[in-house]
Amino acid sequence: MIRNSLILVASFGLLAGCAGATSSTQSPDAGNVKYDVGQPGTAGSGATNPDATSPDATSPDAGAPNVAKGRDSTTTKAVGVTPKAVKKIPATKPPKPAPAPVDPKAKPIRKGRVVDPTGVLAEAFTIDAAATKLPDLSTLAPASLFIAPTIDGTAATPLAGAPSTLKAPVALRFTGSLNVTVADEYRLCTNSSDGSQLLIEDTLVVDNDGVHAEAKEVCELVNLEPGEYKLEVRSFHVTGPVLITASWAAGKDGTPAAIPGSNLFKPEGADARVKAKK
């Protein structure tokens, strides 16, 4: 009887041990503890814990300071308005020398008629009264030519040298050279009843084109060194009096005045062309 009891106790012990072993191996929590709660710095924790990864790997928070710094450097970059560039046009010839002073006691030497070299050659072209901008003058033949001592035709003072037949609708082209003796930043302007343009060495400096209800002035700055510059002024006039003035001023704050005749020189052969046209 006692023997049978011992056998039953032993059997129950074996069954309890087997049940404990089975519970330990089949528990879903078993074996995950050391991976879920790994020690910092260990290979296991570093491989699976995203919070312990390198700042340059997968953690968005770790890389945020560098990204923020980049955004700050971009948004704080100074943004300004680029100032308008001032044209600088080189001269193709040295400046003409100032005329020698005249001795009032000296007797004049007569060697034929002396032609004044100053002024500009003016060409007049017949245009359509419906024109709204400067025509291509290279495609037109001039109806008349004359020498203008200056380019200064106002309502009070008509354009000097122009024939009495000069009336709108008409286009004009003045050619010659501008003599600059002092290096400076010059304001060059045109004031015209309709469109006009001013070119230096074939470079458009002043663009005052279009039909104007009244005379309009446009000025531009240009850097000029001492020299003789090729000059061309164009204008067109569809109605009213022919008003065109080419002016300049030294310095950006100067008050423009008509370019003096002493600074304007006719192109070679201008007088012969005018004579041949008459």
Q: Which fold has domain 120-277?
A: Toxin - Anthrax Protective Antigen; domain 1 (3.90.182)
Of 135, 203, 206, which is closest to residue 172 (Cα–Cα)?
A: 135
- pLDDT surpasses 90 at 85: no
Torsion, Cα of 47, 48, 54, 58 (10° steps): 130
- pLDDT surpasses 60 at 158: yes
Taking only Cα atoms into account, the Rg of the chain, rounded to an integer number of angstroms, comes to 46
Residue for token pair 């070679």: 268
Report the distance separating Cα 43 and Cα 85, nearest Å: 65
pTM of the predicted model over 0.75: no
Q: For 262-275, what is each residue's pLDDT tens digit?
A: 999 999 999 999 99
CA angle, 193 then 238 then 135, to 5°: 100
248 secondary structure, DSSP code: E
Residue for token pair 């290096």: 183
Q: For 109-140, what is each residue's pLDDT tens digit?
A: 555 556 799 999 999 999 999 999 999 999 99
Q: Residue 236, CB half-sphere, CA atoms under 13 Å: how many?
A: 21
Dihedral angle sign, alpha carbons of residues 144, 148, 151, 156 = negative
Q: For 210-251, what is each residue's pLDDT tens digit?
A: 999 899 999 999 999 999 999 999 999 999 899 999 999 999
Which pairing describes strands 87-89 and 216-224: parallel, antiparallel, or unpaired? parallel
At 62 the pLDDT is 45
Q: Compute the average pLDDT of residues 184-206.
A: 97
Q: Where are the domains of the chain?
A: 35-70, 120-277
